[in-house]
Amino acid sequence: MPLWKIYHPVDAFTADDKQAIARALTAVYGRVMPKFYVGVVFQAVEADNFYIGGEPHPRFVRIWVDHIARSFASDDRKTRFFEHINTVLAPWIADRGYDWEMHVDETPFELWTIQGYFPPREGTEDEKRWMAENRASPRTHP
């Protein structure tokens, strides 16, 4: 599961922007895992509650991502991921003149459940079924 937490100024994104961002991020992952694994949370932050370096920063976006379903296999993959994400998010962040920062945490796969069940491993037939159905499969967890 990637869970994206996007902290942003109150008026940074419209409802349509948020949906477009969530869909764009889901598309990044949807080729390699079930789309329902992808969660995106938008947290609007008032200007007087967002400080960088001890000073208020009214045009700052902070992104915190938890990766659980997959982890980066190499430094090259990490670099390519961040480069790609910068391109994906640019229309809503960089191109609008926001400053931003992002980090990714990787949680061990074994410390994750969905609906109380452990998800199938990457590349298994059960995970392929979950991808095709875009939901947890009762066959996998009777």
Taking only the tens place, the pLDDT of each residue in 14-25 is 999 999 999 999
What is the helix (H) or strand (E) element at residue 20, kind and residue range? helix 15-30
pLDDT tens-digit series, residues 80-100: 999 999 999 999 999 999 999
User: Which pairing describes strands 55-56 and 99-106: parallel, antiparallel, or unpaired?
Assistant: unpaired
| Phi, psi torsion values for 66, nearest 5 degrees | -105, 120
**Comparing 38-47, 100-109, 122-131, which segment has the lowest mean pLDDT?**
122-131
According to the model, what pLDDT value does residue 79 have?
A: 97
**How far apart, in whole angstroms, are the C-alpha atoms of residue 77 and residue 84?**
10
Residue 33 backbone class (left: φ over 0; alpha: ψ -120 to 50; beta: rest) = beta
Residue type, 72: F
According to the model, what pLDDT value does residue 140 have?
A: 63
When pLDDT is cut at 50, 70 and 90, the band that residue 116 belongs to is confident
Q: Indicate the domain borders of the chain.
A: 2-133
pTM for the whole thing? 0.92
CATH number of 2-133: 3.30.429.10
